[in-house]
């Protein structure tokens, strides 16, 4: 989304924003007011109703068998459910394989024989006029500016096979929660600052006198995890990073050798990943756009790196999803302005060397709102993203640097015990505002310098729904662990 920054900070305990006369109105202020109110309402709901609850008048997400179905599909009932204060709604009855935003691949997501648990996954997804053209004001023109974006509560019903460790209906919910907790583990963190990226990587604790933001414009950098994994340790052969000239002549960009498969990778954008183009057709490596957008300075050029996405691929990033390759990021090799075509360095639906094909493929189906998103990083040869290296300041461009790190070890962890390495999940992201007036980034500080903070998003919420034995009907978990309220 094209925003200036996110100013909401729950630790400040602000109750409202007070607009003053004769002052400039900023998008960040208006958005913060919404976030202050939502934080209050969702906290109240969670405090009153508990982690999960549903109303007696419309108890949602009941699970049952589809009668005489060869795929052993499950029915999902309509209604409402509250998860950690978040309202999740299903307007009509659906099925597990046919749920509206599940995009379940029958070959990968087939219903197991049992026993297995059924649970709900919910989060907020950012929606622009590309994903929902109806929010665009047509009076401003088909290629004119859009207006406000939206945040949408997305839900998916998922399955977890218990295998030989069948907890039975009495222990099913606890088993699900334990499994999810293990998946999430300690979450990796990131800090940001300005440094001197003209001579090489900066020393971790030394800030050069030339350290400042040198970009010509105010920017909102988005640093986003592309492939899930753990952070690499400094000194590994593949983790040496050094700045190189960016293709768009915007300063130095992080670059290094290709990351190992288990190492998380990241990408970055100086425009909060808001430079995106709706796609009309995908034919091998040639992608036809609906338009070039309204602003030439936020366009595409040969050598740029882009990612082809649609509704189905955009919602496959949660830790609990079956392992699936992340969409590949491709280099543009040719442009045809008159024909509105972009030629990529490979077919985006082909598998990368030594990897499985992307799942699901992006076919250009208009019902799934395909789009091409530009990223501004410059990956090393043979890679499409940059390795996440722990405890190392990594230069992006124009003096902006980031450092990934592990969270502090738990106080009760024995000194000789190994602390589980931090996991970085695909879709985790941090927003870094950079300002020309101050020559610095806006980032929280602690006594030692830039604070290492958890990702700014995405926050996933979970609720157990049912236990399904090897033989028999689903046993609801909702009445026990999410009691109905009047």
Cα separation of 412 and 70, whole Å?
A: 50
Instruction: Kindly provide the residue ranges of all beta strands, DSSP E only, lying in 270-363, ordered along the sequence.
Output: 276-283, 286-289, 305-309, 329-336, 341-344
Please say whether the dihedral angle defined by the alpha carbons of residues 202, 204, 210 and 212, taken in this order, is positive or negative: positive
| CA distance linking residue 402 with residue 387, whole number of Å | 12
Q: What single-letter DSSP state applies at residue 481?
A: H
- Domains of the chain by residue range: 50-185+460-485, 189-450
Distance in Å from the first CA to the final CA of the chain: 39
E strand or H helix at 423: strand 423-424
pLDDT of residue 137: 87
Q: What is the pLDDT of residue 190?
A: 97
Q: Which two tokens stand for residue 197?
A: 């990226």
Q: Which residues have CB under 8 Å from 418's CB, separation 6+?
A: none
Nearest-angstrom CA–CA distance, 371 and 246: 24
> Could you give the 3-state DSSP secondary structure of residue 459?
coil
Taking CA atoms, 177 is separated from 29, 76, 113, 117, 125, in Å, by: 37, 21, 21, 11, 23
d(CA 422, CA 189): 8
Tell me which residue of 61, 10, 55, 66 sits closest to 37, measured CA to CA. Answer: 10
* pLDDT for 113: 83
Would you call 71 helix, strand, or coil by DSSP? Answer: coil
84 is written with which tokens? 């950690």
DSSP helix/strand/coil, 39:
helix
Full pLDDT tens readout for the chain, 486 residues: 899 999 999 999 999 999 999 999 999 999 999 999 999 999 999 998 888 888 888 889 999 999 988 888 999 999 999 999 999 999 999 999 999 998 876 666 678 887 999 999 999 999 999 999 999 888 887 767 789 999 999 999 999 998 888 888 888 888 988 888 877 777 899 999 998 654 444 454 555 556 788 889 999 999 999 998 889 888 765 544 333 333 333 443 444 444 444 889 999 999 999 999 999 999 999 999 998 877 767 899 999 999 999 999 888 877 777 556 788 899 999 999 999 999 999 998 887 665 665 556 788 899 999 999 999 999 998 889 999 999 999 999 999 999 999 988 776 655 555 566 788 999 999 999 999 999 999 999 999 999 999 999 899 999 999 999 988 889 888 754 455 666
User: Which token pair is 25?
Assistant: 């109105």
Name which of 122, 261, 107 is nearest 180 in CA terms: 122
How are strands ordered across the β-sheet holding 461-468? 150-161, 116-127, 461-468, 475-476
CA distance 49 to 9: 24
Note the pLDDT of residue 240.
41
| E strands present in 34-93 | 52-55, 63-65, 74-76, 79-83, 86-90
């Amino acid at each position: 989304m094209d925003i200036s920054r996110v100013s909401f900070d729950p630790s400040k305990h602000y109750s409202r924003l007070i607009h003053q006369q004769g002052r400039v109105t900023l998008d960040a202020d208006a958005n913060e007011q919404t976030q202050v109110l939502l934080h209050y309402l969702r906290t109240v709901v969670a405090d009153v109703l508990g982690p999960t609850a549903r109303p007696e008048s419309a108890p949602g997400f009941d699970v049952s068998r589809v009668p005489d179905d060869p795929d052993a599909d499950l029915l999902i009932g309509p209604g409402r459910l509250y998860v950690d204060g978040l309202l999740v709604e299903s307007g009509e009855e659906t099925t597990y394989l046919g749920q509206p935003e599940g995009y379940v691949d029958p070959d990968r997501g087939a219903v197991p024989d049992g026993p297995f648990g059924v649970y709900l996954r919910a989060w907020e997804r950012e929606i622009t006029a590309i994903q929902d053209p109806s929010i665009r004001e047509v009076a401003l023109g088909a290629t004119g500016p859009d207006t406000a974006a939206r945040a949408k509560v997305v839900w998916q019903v998922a399955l977890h096979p218990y295998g030989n460790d069948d907890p039975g209906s009495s222990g099913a919910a606890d088993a699900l929660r334990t499994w999810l907790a293990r998946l999430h583990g300690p979450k990796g963190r990131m800090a940001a600052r300005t440094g001197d990226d003209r001579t090489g990587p900066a020393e971790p604790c030394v800030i050069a006198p030339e350290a400042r933001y040198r970009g010509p414009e105010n920017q909102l950098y988005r640093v986003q995890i592309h492939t899930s994994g753990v952070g690499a340790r400094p000194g590994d052969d593949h983790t040496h990073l050094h700045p190189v000239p960016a293709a768009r002549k915007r300063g130095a960009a992080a670059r290094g050798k290709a990351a190992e498969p288990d190492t998380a990778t990241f990408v970055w954008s100086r425009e909060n990943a808001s430079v995106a183009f709706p796609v009309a057709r995908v034919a091998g490596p040639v992608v036809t756009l609906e338009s070039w957008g309204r602003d030439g300075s936020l366009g595409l050029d040969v050598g740029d790196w882009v990612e082809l996405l649609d509704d189905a691929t955009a919602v496959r990033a949660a830790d609990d999803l079956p392992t699936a390759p992340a969409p590949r990021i491709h280099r543009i090799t040719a442009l045809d302005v008159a024909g509105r075509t972009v030629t990529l360095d490979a077919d985006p639906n082909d598998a990368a060397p030594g990897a499985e094909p992307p799942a699901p493929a992006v076919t250009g189906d208009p019902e799934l709102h395909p789009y091409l998103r530009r990223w501004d990083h410059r990956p090393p040869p043979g890679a499409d993203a940059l390795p996440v290296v722990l405890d190392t300041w990594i230069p992006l461009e124009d003096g902006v640097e980031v450092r990934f790190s592990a969270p502090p070890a738990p106080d009760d962890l024995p000194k000789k015990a190994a602390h589980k390495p931090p996991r970085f999940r695909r879709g985790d992201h941090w927003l870094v505002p950079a300002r020309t007036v101050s020559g610095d980034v806006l980032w929280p500080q602690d006594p030692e310098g830039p604070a290492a903070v958890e990702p700014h998003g995405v926050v996933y919420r979970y609720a157990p729904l049912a236990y399904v034995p090897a033989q028999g009907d689903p046993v609801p978990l909702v009445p026990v662990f999410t009691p109905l309220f009047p």
